[in-house]
Every structure is written in C-alpha cells, then in structure tokens.
C-alpha cells in the first residue's frame, strides 16, 4: 500500500512539473509569473491533470531590437528569441527551442475509462523558425500574420502497465509548418480582465517513420496530418460593476487524423496549451476529436465590499466527430462550472477553486461526473522578486 501511494505521488509530481504552455507569439509585456493548476476528478480514474511552470517575458532583451519568452519547469523548456524587423519593417523573426520529458505522453481514454495498459510516455526536443508580420501598426486591435516551421524528434517509451503484446509507436522525427492570422489576442495570464481575439490557423505535420502500433498493429500513425482551427473569444470586465464576462467559440477539423494528433477536449486548466479546449467536469483531454465545435461562457461577480472575492458560473458544450476507434454514443457533450476566486488588493497573486459537472461524461456505464480544480498565479514582480524598471 505504501509503495502504491508513493508511486502515485511521484507520478503526480512528474506530470505537474512537465507541463508548459505551447509555443505562442512573443509577449509584448514584461512578466514573471508562476502558474499552478491541478484537476481532481471525483469519480473514476484519470491521468494526472496538472501544470506547474515559470513564465518569463522580456519584450526588450538586451536592447529594443530583441525580445525573449521562456516557459520552464524542472523537466521541460519552451522558449523563443525574437529579432524585430528582421525581414523588413513590422516583420519579426523568432527562433524557438523546446524539449524535455513527459511532453508527449499519450493517455488512451475510451468511454470514460482510462486504459493505462494502452497509454505510454513520450519525450521530445525541437527547433522552430517563425515570422510575425503586423499588418496594421498603430491600431488598437492588432492584426498579425504568423508563419512558422520546424523539426522535432519524439521518443516514445513503454510504461510498466503495457503488456508484452502492446507495441508503442516508433520514435518519430516530425517536420511541421504552421500558418495563422490573428486579430487581437489574449494575455497569457489567469482570468484576464480584457481580451478579444479572432484567429484562424493551419497546421501540417509530416512523420518520417509512420506505421502501426498497439495490439498486433491495430492502430496507425499517419504520415501526414493536416489540422484547421479557428477561435473567437471575448473577455470583458464591466468598469463600474467589475463583473467579468467571458465568451468563446472554437472549431477544428483534421485531414488524415490519428490518435496521436487528435484534438483533446475536457477539463478546465486554462493555461495547459495555447488554445485549451475546456469542458468542465470531464477528465483533462478525455474526448478525442477529429472535428469539433466548442461553445463556452463564464460570468463572475465580486461578492464582498473590497471586491477581492469573486463568484462565477460557466458552461460549455461541444459537438464532436470522434477519432476513429474512440467514438462515444452522443455527439454533444456539455458541462457547467461554479468558481470561487480571490485576488488581493496588491494583485500579486490570484487563486480560484472551480467545481465542474460533466452532464454527458460516462462513468461506470452512467452519465454524469464531477471534478474540482485549483488554479493559482503568482506575479513575482509584484511580490518584489524582480525589478520591473530594467530592460532585460
């Protein structure tokens, strides 16, 4: 029993430490943040849903012509160095590196059951080159074009729960290209007070060692996968009432999808990825989709005279075309949430406790599931650990 508890604790720690946000456009604001998120399902057994990472942004790194963004945990690093106007006015060049352990872990979840004997771990490392072009300099709502390409290598490993008859995928060299058009944007912080974004994206991956894996090769790794994604998002805080409204709609489609490249929907960890697909009450990444549309909304109000405590309610619903082999009986999945948050007057940190209920989540052949999520953000500059009057 003690050995089992210790194994669970180690797995939770390693999973949390591995998490870091996906690559994104260079942040124009100086930041030093520590982000923490942990999701605990109240029914069933699920992969650990958690992240712990330090996020740093230096819009002037060394001088005004360079910038740096880094997200780091003890076992993973994701960073990008930017050269402004490298390819002409308003066209910046970014050079990014990423890599570490547990970043490409795959969890097989089918019908609300986590199939640990069919799940496996993965590590990766890679480099990217990106171009960012600002189409309307000086305007309040920026419109940026993004083009990036790169190469990464993913090494998959068996776990102690994989039976001898189960084969993991071949280690995978992957080339990828990404193009996007983004109007507006969202700050990489917990519960931003104001944000607006309309963006469309295309992503293509070429695997150099495709093939089969699983039990007697019963599942595929496709050679080429193409994905399309769009998001419209609006966050607004009423200036007098300080009520916060958040609305979003997202959609995605794929060509030649496989389980490793599928859209994963579920959970309420908002900083787990550049475009998190949140659905309260479900496991993190519980639903595997080749195509989807996801609607979400949240409304929060202060409940004390000092406006430190906030009470929020939210809901989300997704229509899903499931990844082949992971289909569920209903196309629509819906969840709701209730949250309690606290932000001190200094705004040096914030914390939220979120309860989620998944109306259509399958648990033990019944529908309905619950979860509790803890979210925290520490602003190290406001806490006095860094000086904000320096340029690097």
User: In 3-state terms, what secondary structure has residue 245?
Assistant: strand
pLDDT on residue 375: 98
| pLDDT, position 388 | 53
Catalogue all structural domains in the chain, each as residue range(s) with its CATH number: 2-379 (2.40.160.50)
Whose CA is closest to 83, among 65, 62, 60? 65
Alpha helices in the chain (DSSP H): 2-18
Sign of the torsion formed by the C-alpha atoms of 334, 259, 329 and 159: negative
**Coil vs helix vs strand at 209:** coil
Q: What is the DSSP letter of 52?
A: E
DSSP string, 272-325: SSSS---BTTSPTT-EEEEEEEEEEEEEEEE-STTS-EEEEEEEEEEEEEEPTT
Residue where the block lists tokens 């009450």: 281
Residue 8's alpha-carbon distances to 3, 76, 106, 164, in angstroms, are 9, 20, 17, 23
For the chain, give the longest Cα–Cα distance: 63
Task: Round to whole Å and give the CA distance between 68 and 33.
Answer: 14
The mean pLDDT values, 10 residues at a time, for the chain of 392 residues are 39 39 67 97 94 96 94 93 95 96 92 97 97 94 96 97 98 98 96 96 98 97 98 96 97 96 97 96 98 98 96 98 95 98 97 98 95 98 74 44
- Please answer whether residues 342 and 374 qualify as being in contact, where contact means their C-beta atoms are separated by less than 8 angstroms: no
According to the model, what pLDDT value does residue 2 have?
A: 38
Are 253 and 204 in contact by the 8 Å Cβ rule? The answer is no
Burial label, 159 (beta-carbon count in 10 A; 0-12, 13-18, 19+): middle
- Say if residues 177 and 149 touch (Cβ distance below 8 Å): yes
State the pLDDT at residue 386. Answer: 75
Q: Can you give the pLDDT at residue 25?
A: 63
User: Taking the model in full, what pTM does it have?
Assistant: 0.91
Torsion of CA 55, 50, 355, 307, to 10 degrees: -20
């Amino acid at each position: 029993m003690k050995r089992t508890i210790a194994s669970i604790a180690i797995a939770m720690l390693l999973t949390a430490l591995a998490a870091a946000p996906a690559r994104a456009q260079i942040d124009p604001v100086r930041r030093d943040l520590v982000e923490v998120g942990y999701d605990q399902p109240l029914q069933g057994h699920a992969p650990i849903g958690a992240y712990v990472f330090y996020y740093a942004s230096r819009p002037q790194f060394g001088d005004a012509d360079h910038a740096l963004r880094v997200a780091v945990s003890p076992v993973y690093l994701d960073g990008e160095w930017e050269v402004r106007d490298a390819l002409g006015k308003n066209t910046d060049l970014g050079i990014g590196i990423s890599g570490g352990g547990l970043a490409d872990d795959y969890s097989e979840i089918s019908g609300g059951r986590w199939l640990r004997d069919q799940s496996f771990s993965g590590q990766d490392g890679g480099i990217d080159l990106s171009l960012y072009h600002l189409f309307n300099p000086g305007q309040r709502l920026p419109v940026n074009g993004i083009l990036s390409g790169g190469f990464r290598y993913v090494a998959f490993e068996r776990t102690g729960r994989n039976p001898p008859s189960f084969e993991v995928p071949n280690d995978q060299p992957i080339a990828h290209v990404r193009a996007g058009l983004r109007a507006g944007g969202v700050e990489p912080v917990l519960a931003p007070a104001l944000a607006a974004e309309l963006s469309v994206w295309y992503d293509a991956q070429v695997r150099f060692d495709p093939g089969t894996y699983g039990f007697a090769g019963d599942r595929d790794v496709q050679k080429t996968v193409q994905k399309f994604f769009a998001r419209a998002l609006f966050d607004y805080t009423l200036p007098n009432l300080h009520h916060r409204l958040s609305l979003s709609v997202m959609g995605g489609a794929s060509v030649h999808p496989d389980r490793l490249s599928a859209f994963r929907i579920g959970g309420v960890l908002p900083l787990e990825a550049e475009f998190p697909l949140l659905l309260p009450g479900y496991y993190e990444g519980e639903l595997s989709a080749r195509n989807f549309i996801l609607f979400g909304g949240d409304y929060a109000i202060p409940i004390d005279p000092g406006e430190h405590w906030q009470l929020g309610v939210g809901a989300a619903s997704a229509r899903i075309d499931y990844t082949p082999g992971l289909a569920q009986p209903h196309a629509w999945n819906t969840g709701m949430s209730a949250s309690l948050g606290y932000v001190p007057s200094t705004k040096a940190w914030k914390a939220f406790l979120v309860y989620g209920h998944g109306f259509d989540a399958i648990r033990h052949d019944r529908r309905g599931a619950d979860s509790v999520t803890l979210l925290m953000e520490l602003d190290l500059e406001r806490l006095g650990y860094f000086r904000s009057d320096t340029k690097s």
